[in-house]
Amino acid sequence: MKTIFIKDKKFEPLSEPVCAAIGNFDGVHLGHQKLISECKRHGYKSAVLTLYPHPSVFLKKIKNYPLITPLEHKQDILARMGIDYLIVIEFNDEIAQMPKEEFMMHLKFMNIRACVCGYDFTFARRAEGDIRDLAKEFEFYEVKKYIFDGVRVSSTYIRELITSGNVKEANRLLGRTFSIRGNVKYGSQKGRLIGFPTANIDYRNYLLPENGVYFVNVKIDGIVYLGMCNIGHNPTYNFSEGIKMEVNVFNLDEDIYGENVEIFFVDRIRPEHKFDSLDDLKKQLVIDKNKCLLLASDVNYTK
């Protein structure tokens, strides 16, 4: 897959005509996958056209808007899906104020011959453009709302599932296991003092699940380990004002500081809780680990 970044309105024509699926594609969920599958059916090279940073950063004035799949992660998922081109347009005030006619002119200049969009897709200044406009100027293919097991699949709903801790249901709608990639940074190293050493993860701009303990898979240097992850403030031991993401990797003794790892969230074990004593916390961690091991036989690990 070739990735093309368009900055400062410097649009460049592709060397061959393409059919482009257009949208934000945060999560690249089952609905997005339907768009991409449709995009590959029409005899052109396939492309995904998206905006970066996420429009909410500008339109809703949200700083550090957390994502299900930040751009680099999204690139890897799309590449595995066999897309020929990923076109990333830098989203800024100028793009936000672009009239729909100008936006479509740039699409034509890029050699986009056909477009695939969801039924409610809008674009350009004040969302004045919609799928009817695209249908007048391009070969156009509309994808209806995607229903899976009676549930409408959307990034908004999947975000709600993740932030409420229901990662198991989020995984079904994503079509893979929700994961967070990050670098292992130095922490207090107090976990090892109670028999549960943890890796402190720099989760960057990822959307975090609700505070609590999760059964996870941990991918390190291509090897997948079982583990459990705590997200929260550590109210009983080693309290943190900010939210921390710490992973206890089962059956791993080596030092992984500085390593890039990927944490796959399989299921939530329990909410975060302040215990009366350190001994009570240790006992609960043993229970948590045993629950994870019991769940391990049902793991549906997805790369």
Higher pLDDT, residue 58 or 47: 47
> Among 13-27, 117-131, 255-269, 285-299, whose mean pLDDT is lowest?
285-299
Residue range 224-239: mean pLDDT, rounded:
87
What Å distances lie between residue 133 and 34, 44, 49, 89, 100, CA to CA?
22, 21, 17, 20, 8
Given a cut of 80, whether residue 144 has pLDDT beyond it is yes
Over residues 80-101, the pLDDT tens digits come to: 999 999 999 999 989 999 999 9
Q: What is the phi/psi pair of residue 238, to 5°?
A: 65, 55
Query: 207: closest CA among 157, 152, 251?
Result: 157
Which residues, other chains included, contact 191 with Cβ-Cβ below 8 Å and sequence gap of 6+? 197, 198, 238, 246, 248
Over residues 147-183, the pLDDT tens digits come to: 999 999 999 999 999 999 999 999 999 999 999 999 9
pLDDT of residue 229: 97
pLDDT of residue 33: 97
Over residues 269-293, the pLDDT tens digits come to: 999 988 888 899 999 999 999 999 9
Residue range 26-32: mean pLDDT, rounded:
97
pLDDT of residue 277: 87
Cα 184 to Cα 222: distance, rounded to the nearest angstrom = 16
Q: Give the confidence band of 303 by pLDDT, cuts at 50, 70, 90.
A: very low
195 by Cβ neighbours in 10 Å (0-12 / 13-18 / 19+) ranks as: exposed
pLDDT of residue 259: 94
Domains of the chain with CATH codes: 14-152 (3.40.50.620), 179-298 (2.40.30.30)
Strands 85-90 and 45-52: parallel
Given a cut of 50, whether residue 251 has pLDDT beyond it is yes
Q: What SS3 class is residue 223?
A: strand
Q: Give the confidence band of 302 by pLDDT, cuts at 50, 70, 90.
A: very low
Query: With contact defined as beta carbons under 8 Å apart, do 110 and 11 qualify?
Result: yes
Strand partners, 90: 52
Residue range 118-129: mean pLDDT, rounded:
94
pLDDT of residue 17: 97
Residue range 121-150: mean pLDDT, rounded:
95
Q: For the chain, what is the mean pLDDT?
A: 92
pLDDT of residue 298: 66
Query: 247: closest CA among 269, 228, 223?
Result: 228
217's tokens: 């898979």
